[in-house]
Structures are given as structure tokens and as C-alpha cells.
Amino acid sequence: MPTTDRDLLHDLVEAWPEFDDDETPVNGADLVEWFAGFREQVKAHLAEPRSE
């Protein structure tokens, strides 16, 4: 689970190529499922106390 903004963005960039390897085109359901997981990571990250 990402713990910093940088980690979260890195996870986003690194996770996306999973769609590049598919032999079939990416459909809307794939993107919805992927985005739902990413959204959960963002929500968890935003719930963490901010360190300044």
C-alpha cells in the first residue's frame, strides 16, 4: 500500500502496463475495476495523518 504521494503516483504508473500486455482490447469493465482499486488506495492514503 502506498504511503506517500510519490509512492501512490509510482504505483499508478507501474500498474498501468498490465493493460498493454493483453492480447484483447481493454474494455470499460477492466478500467472500472482497475480504477476502483486505485481509488481505494487514494482514500486510504488521504485518511493517513499528514506529516509536516
pTM for this predicted structure:
0.58
Query: What are the tens digits of pLDDT across the range 1-52?
Result: 557 888 878 877 777 656 666 577 777 888 888 888 888 988 888 888 877 6
CB neighbour burial string for 5-39, b if at least 16 within 10 angstroms, e if fewer: eeebeebeeeeeeeeeeeeeeeeeeeeeebeeebe
Domain boundaries, the chain: 5-47
User: First vs last Cα of the chain: how many Å apart?
Assistant: 20
